[in-house]
Structure 1
Amino acid sequence: MTLQRRFLRFSSSYVFSTRMNTIAPCLQTVRFNHSKSDIMDHRAKVMSKGLPEKKPLPGVKSIILVASGKGGVGKTTTAVNLACAMKVIEPDKEIGLLDADVFGPSVPLMMNISGEPMLNDDHLIEPLLNYGVKCMSMGLLVSGENAVVWRGLMVMQALERLTRHVAWGPLDCLVVDTPPGTGDTHLSLAQNLPLDGAIVVTTPQSAALQVTKRGINMFEKLKVPIIGIVENMSHAICSQCGTKNFIFGNDTKKSAADMGLEIIESFEVDQNMSDCINSGKPAIYALPDSIHAEKYRHLANKVFKYIDDKENHRAKAKEQ
């Protein structure tokens, strides 16, 4: 049986057994009349259980999330080029890239990876390697022609497989590309993994900025530190006169200031970036001398500094 079939069979059987063995018996024992004291006792029991314990991924030192409230803002482009730039400027570092967008995985296209991953002797999935970056995506486990139509329980089980059933280590940093929105994926990752920080990607449109604020509020509630904001499509440069045209507005700076956050990098619109995406060759390699490649290297340096500062802070805290 292929790895793809094993993965899908595992997920389907899990939900089937959950429905048959857990939900059905519960429905038979539901009591509809509860006193106020019963409700308070139930809440106390639920709260006493607390959130699941965060367990590190074996061999993974740091985990950085790349997220966006709005879709289509260039989040995966940022995650892919960030991971590759981190490997370029620190070749001795081991970098990984997890595509946590179960329903719309696009990392395989942008990283030019394909084929079914192999299982090692420990029955762990071996991530595929390209540009020196270890990669794993649902797009490698499900046929490209098939749509993933799953409920929440199956999504959470898929994330469990993509994180703890993959031979990630040793890694200095795992970059996690997340889906748009504020749903099960973000909640599961934040509750189960020790996340070092999140980069929030947005575009200057008011609609995108409004949803970005919701995503930032979610991370604050989940106690995930925000490293900063990456602004994509900030402006377009006229090829004739070099004038900057803010075709999508220019409100990102004000929104970032209102939220007390820093715009750690800003990228203009560039047709060459679309060509890089379609060809599966990140800009850091396809256009190494471009302004975009320079900015991705700058972004990678900032992330490395953020991780180093955090590790130094932890070391000092232990000494005290």
Structure 2
Amino acid sequence: MSTALISSVRAALSTVDDPEIRRPITELGMVESVEVDEFGAAAVRVLLTVAGCPMKAQLTRDVTAAVSRVDGVTSVDVTLGVMTDAQRGELRQTLRGDAPANEIPFAQPGSRTRVYAVASGKGGVGKSSVTVNLAASLAARGLSVGVLDADIYGFSVPRMLGVTGKPTQVDQMIMPPIAHDVKVISIGMFTPGNTAVVWRGPMLHRALQQFLADVFWGDLDVLLMDLPPGTGDIAISVAQLVPSAELLVVTTPQLAAREVAERAGSIALQTHQQIVGVVENMSWLDLPDGSRMELFGSGGGQAVADSLAASTGTRVPLLGQIPIDQSVREGGDNGAPVVLTAPNSPAAQAMGKVADALAARQRSLVGKSLGLTPVR
């Protein structure tokens, strides 16, 4: 057995990331043993975090591919084991450090994650469609992105992102499924079939707190929270649990939608949150002759932005106007966001501009220490 060859194999294994945690398996203590015989046959034993790990097939393929590329290796045999409770405890320590189990990382002063709570006054304005497409667009730009489906009663994000897997639990940490390079969590992943969720306010608050604290999100650049319509329990809980979260208000041009969107945005006055901007969805329909049909009227998005700017005394921009596009609906039904499947479509282009605006923003300094010391 060549020591140099084994070192090369271990170096190759350091390039393999765990599909759920997105960190090298060598750093996570998942490589139990590496052996190479005199004929170049490599035997690698990898420890899964849990016995029912849904990504074990992908992990086996990735390890086999990485080791096969090492010069001198003639064959690769990968066997899988399972971590002990003590090893899972060490893994949690590696990932979370000394942070308390119920600590919300995004609420800490040192957090670098920009949290956007996507809100609307009423249902049916396309808030979830905007959320998943913005998430996919930001991830395609190289950012680390997560989506929290906070619409407990009307969850739809898993279908829209094509998530079919279930979260796995590792020593009190929930590993979120990943789709289109976006980490996703939703109550729909924990309910059988299309079962309705019938909970009162305290249960909703607890579910949101668990999604924020117990899910291992990693080092996110952006977390998008798809809120339920209106100004109910979840909107209040978000302000309490993540005070630095900024509101992104979605509306249609319709007068009725505009009025309730203004009420949804005005919650920022009571919660002291910042409004990052307004997105107008279903702005118009492009006709074959090149003209536009404004099915829901016009000017609603700008009116909401102006009204919220006046009421809050801050700048609230209209970040984008998204036209009606059948491919948006099809992408939502098929779990393939339109920004990925038809990036040149008018709707995808409009959402891409909103994503650019969000990606370019700097993290707010609200609640963060500036490191200043008073002088006598």
TM-score bracket, shorter-length normalisation: 0.7 to 0.9
- Counterpart CA distance in 2 for 1:95 and 1:254 is 30
Give the share of equivalent positions with the same residue, in percent. 34
Amino acid at match of 1:140: M
> Residue 156 of structure 2 is aligned with which of 82, 96, 106?
106
5 Å-filtered alignment, 1:39-54, equals: none
The alignment status of 1:248 with 2:296, answered yes or no, reads: yes
**Residues 17-47 of structure 1: CA deviation (Å, up to 9, x unaligned):** xxxxxxxxxxxxxxxxxxxxxxxxxxxxxxx
Q: 1:259 to 1:285 in 2, by over 3 A?
A: same
- Counterpart CA distance in 2 for 1:259 and 1:193 is 21
> Residue 223 of structure 2 is aligned with which of 174, 179, 189?
174
8 Å contact 1:60–1:174 — kept in the other structure? no
Post-superposition shift, 1:314? Answer: 8.2
Amino acid at match of 2:162: N
Amino acid at match of 2:155: P
Amino acid at match of 2:232: G
Name the one with the larger helix percent. 1
The alignment status of 1:300 with 2:300, answered yes or no, reads: no
Post-superposition shift, 1:63? Answer: 1.1
- Counterpart CA distance in 1 for 2:107 and 2:164 is 24
Q: 1:315 to 1:145 in 2, by over 3 A?
A: closer
Q: Which residue of 1 aligns with 2:212?
A: 163
TM normalised by structure 2 equals 0.65
Post-superposition shift, 1:274? Answer: 1.0
The alignment status of 1:290 with 2:340, answered yes or no, reads: no
Q: Which residue of 1 aligns with 2:122?
A: 70
**Residues 220-272 of structure 1: CA deviation (Å, up to 9, x unaligned):** 22111011110001111111x11111111113123432332321100111111
8 Å contact 2:238–2:245 — kept in the other structure? no
Amino acid at match of 1:248: F
The structure showing larger relative contact order (alpha-carbon pairs under 8 Å, at least 6 residues apart) is 1
Amino acid at match of 2:318: I
5 Å-filtered alignment, 1:49-128, equals: 56=106, 61-89=113-141, 91=142, 93-120=143-170, 122-128=171-177
Identify the range of structure 1 (125-134 vs 257-266) with the bigger mean alpha-carbon deviation: 257-266
Q: 1:71 to 1:140 in 2, by over 3 A?
A: same
8 Å contact 1:60–1:169 — kept in the other structure? no
Task: Please state whether the residue corresponding to 1:267 is helix, strand or coil.
Answer: strand
TM normalised by structure 1 equals 0.76
8 Å contact 1:110–1:277 — kept in the other structure? yes
- Counterpart CA distance in 1 for 2:370 and 2:187 is 38
Amino acid at match of 2:243: P
- Counterpart CA distance in 2 for 1:55 and 1:264 is 28
8 Å contact 1:54–1:194 — kept in the other structure? no
Q: 1:254 to 1:172 in 2, by over 3 A?
A: closer
Q: 1:255 to 1:189 in 2, by over 3 A?
A: closer
> Residue 145 of structure 1 is aligned with which of 174, 185, 194?
194
Q: Which runs of 5+ in 1 are unaligned?
A: 4-52
8 Å contact 2:324–2:347 — kept in the other structure? no
Q: 1:178 to 1:315 in 2, by over 3 A?
A: closer
- Counterpart CA distance in 1 for 2:164 and 2:342 is 23
Amino acid at match of 2:124: G
Larger radius of gyration: 2
Post-superposition shift, 1:307? Answer: 2.9
- Counterpart CA distance in 2 for 1:303 and 1:184 is 26
Q: 1:264 to 1:244 in 2, by over 3 A?
A: same
> Residue 262 of structure 1 is aligned with which of 311, 317, 325?
317
Task: Please state whether the residue corresponding to 1:215 is helix, strand or coil.
Answer: helix
Q: Which runs of 5+ in 2 are unaligned?
A: 1-51, 53-102, 310-315
Q: Which residue of 1 aligns with 2:70?
A: none
**Residues 94-114 of structure 1: CA deviation (Å, up to 9, x unaligned):** 111110011111001000002
Post-superposition shift, 1:299? Answer: 1.1
Kindly tell me the number of residue pairs found equivalent between the two proteins.
Answer: 263
Amino acid at match of 2:279: V
Amino acid at match of 1:273: V
Task: Please state whether the residue corresponding to 1:187 is helix, strand or coil.
Answer: helix
Q: 1:144 to 1:135 in 2, by over 3 A?
A: same
Post-superposition shift, 1:305? Answer: 2.0
8 Å contact 2:155–2:187 — kept in the other structure? yes
Q: 1:208 to 1:296 in 2, by over 3 A?
A: same
- Counterpart CA distance in 2 for 1:115 and 1:274 is 22
- Counterpart CA distance in 2 for 1:127 and 1:60 is 20
Name the one with the larger strand percent. 2
8 Å contact 2:119–2:249 — kept in the other structure? yes
